[in-house]
Amino acid sequence: MKIAIVTGASSGLGKEFVKILDRKECLNEIWVIARRENRLQELQIGCSTPLRILPLDLTEKESIRKVISLLKKENPEVEFLVNAAGMGKIGSYRELSLEDCETMIDLNCRAAVSMTQGVLPFMKKGSHILEICSTAAFQPFPYLNVYAASKAFLYRYSRALRVELFSRRISVTAICPYWVKDTEFIDTAKKTQNSSYIHSFPLASKEKTVVKWAFQDAKLGFAVSTPGPVCFLHRITAKFIPHELMMGMWSLIRRI
């Protein structure tokens, strides 16, 4: 049985990845993971590929154990793993709650690594891992400090894991989009005591464009996908400009 596994599948980029996998790949099942079971059930309506609905909260370690147990029981061949579950919060250290900080680290870092480690034994030559990072991974971001740091962790993990998996011919792609305006991410990120540190989100992308671009990059085996002109430019400039200057530029841009 050939399957794909998508976390964060109830909305945003995760949901779009389920749709593109359904259209473009010949799979026996897509295992979809998210907390909101009703959203996952609604997703089946537009998909011809059967969905295995797994309503799990990946901030809980036991949820990962349940997925691994199911993999051992079913023993499928996982052709795609898309780690799209993640969250971010806008605000200074004074306004971010300890719970929000812990959730960002648990979901963006620990859960992504645990899922990857748990799924790898069931992947074969030609399989693909897509780790949904962010353009925030390329530099420190004041007032997005924990989120940016968590995505930098996932980015570095993805780049190193890719090299380790060369011999198995399993590709790992770090997907690093800019702001995506038609997902729930921005609205969720602004739900803090003070989100006014970032006034607007100019030149934000659309989720369908991001996913189409990122999926093609992953199929081509790219190490990094910057699915849009802004994130591509950011990736290049961050290689040459010191982080202190990049943060100064960010201080101006976030006030636009």
pTM: 0.95
How much is the pLDDT for 194? Answer: 83
Dihedral pair phi/psi, residue 128, rounded to 5°? -130, 135
Whether the pLDDT of residue 131 is over 90: the answer is: yes
Q: Domains plus CATH for the chain?
A: 2-253 (3.40.50.720)
Please, are residues 33 and 85 in contact by the beta-carbon 8 Å criterion? yes
157-180 confidence digits (pLDDT tens): 999 999 999 999 999 999 999 999
Q: How far is CA 85 from CA 56, 111, 225, in A?
A: 11, 8, 17
Whether the pLDDT of residue 153 is over 90: the answer is: yes
**Tokens standing for residue 217:** 């990059």
Of the candidates 42, 50, 112, 36, which has an alpha carbon nearest to the alpha carbon of residue 81? 112
At residue 250 the predicted structure's pLDDT band, cuts being 50, 70 and 90, is confident
Of the candidates 89, 145, 95, 140, which has an alpha carbon nearest to the alpha carbon of residue 249? 140
CB crowding 227-253: b at 16 or more within 10 Å, else e: bbebbbebbeeeeeeeeeebeeebeee
Tokens 């970032």, located at residue: 198
24-65 confidence digits (pLDDT tens): 999 999 999 999 999 999 999 989 999 999 999 999 999 999
d(CA 100, CA 190): 12
Terminal Cα distance for the chain, rounded: 50
